[in-house]
Structure 1
Amino acid sequence: MEINNLSVYYGDNEAVKQVSMPIKENKVTAFIGPSGCGKSTLLRTINRMNDQIDIARYKGEIMYDGVNLLDKKIDVVSLRKEIGMVFQEPNPFPKPIKTNITHALKFYRTNKKDMNEMVETSLKQAALWEEVKDRLDSSAHSLSGGQQQRLCIARALALKPQVLLLDEPTSALDPISSAKVEDLIIELKKYYTIVIVTHNMEQAARISDYTSFMYNGDLIEYGDTSKIFTNPNEQRTEDYLRGKFS
């Protein structure tokens, strides 16, 4: 995936300003920066979630397998199957655990046998199967916060996406649950391209291969995570990582 000269507007406000960067296949790319800098806006633009906001508009392009994802002819439903998303707060449906996985599959005419296999496969991929396999008919809301978030990840994986977008997926979780999700992300990049928004600098350093630092809608610096965190090119990046502004 390649983001080229992308600007995102909410009315007259330019929230993302001519951002260009690659998103590397089977790697974890972290978007970091202070609140309101455009990280989540950029993330949500990749699978067109901002289309739901009437005053949102775009300039530039996001190229994916030779196709501009911002083209108005794109089937957004198919796009979101290909590029899944998990949000900050765990948001399982108020339904049984199993139904949380199968609900979306029904829209793709999946037969019952395949559905059962996909439920097990996606829960295993999300490192949740062993914890819930004996209570698939229990409410998803009976799970802990960390389990609910992994269920949401499993729900996204059931559609067999190529890219997984994670918007601060551990910010509402305790440290133990956060660690499980981080371990899961590292495992999943073997099979998926992952983009994560995080305010947790230690988390970005632990799990990402590439890091983008954004400030006031601008992409200040992009590169290998190890270099960004140890020897950034930009003074503003270093100041942010050292806690000199937030």
Structure 2
Amino acid sequence: MRLVYEPKGRAREYAALAANLYTSCTHGCLYCYAPRCMQRKRDLFHTTASVRKNALRLFAADCTEYAEQHLTEPVLMSFVSDPYQPDELELRITRKALEIAAGHKVPIHILTKGGTRAIQDFPILVETGSQAAFACTLTVYDKSWSAKLEPCAAEPEDRLQALKAAHDAGLSTWVSFEPSIDEESVIKFIRLSHSYVDLYKVGAISGDKSLSRISNWRDYGMSVINELEKYEKEYIIKNDLEKELMPDGQ
């Protein structure tokens, strides 16, 4: 395929297939690993929303190939950018890609910190297939803290609102707690969202570890698991955190 690819390493724990329509992101998250992965200067990466050359044409060709090969794995959007960064409201690249995917019945998983910017596209996302899903990354609940960490991302409550709207629209929903920065926030997010989030994916932090207030990862992991099991929620513990849950971190 041309734009759709098979993720490697940590990303593989999230999805077997993915697509990056944008090659930069203006959310400006302090913990963002993408500039390093893409060998881009951080300030330039976060300044403008760059679209991959011929992104929609390449994606359309991949969707045709996907259908011809009778593939079934959902395609995640996205890892090194956000499909609903602010400029998407004008550029509509993600929306156009969803329309293409819907035409070929290629199920899409959206992972975003764009919150309610995505709501207008839920009817199209539903049409991509029965495995379609909407997900948000949640880090800290306090909006002033979030504004420092993720200056141009949607506020935490806005992301929760989007998850609730996705659930009400008939979409599967999941949350990514990665990076994990504040245990109190994660517990609060679970208590607020458990009635409309289907799955929680819990990890550690792969970027600047100084941004996290979590010092004992084993205690953190057990606390989150206990909270999720209290509500009988489905969850996935990512490998980095799972290692910390073993005796002596083995």
Give the TM-score, by structure 1 length: 0.36
Greater percentage in helix: 2
Larger gyration radius, structure 1 or structure 2: 1
Greater percentage in strand: 1
Higher relative contact order (CA 8 A, sep 6+): 1
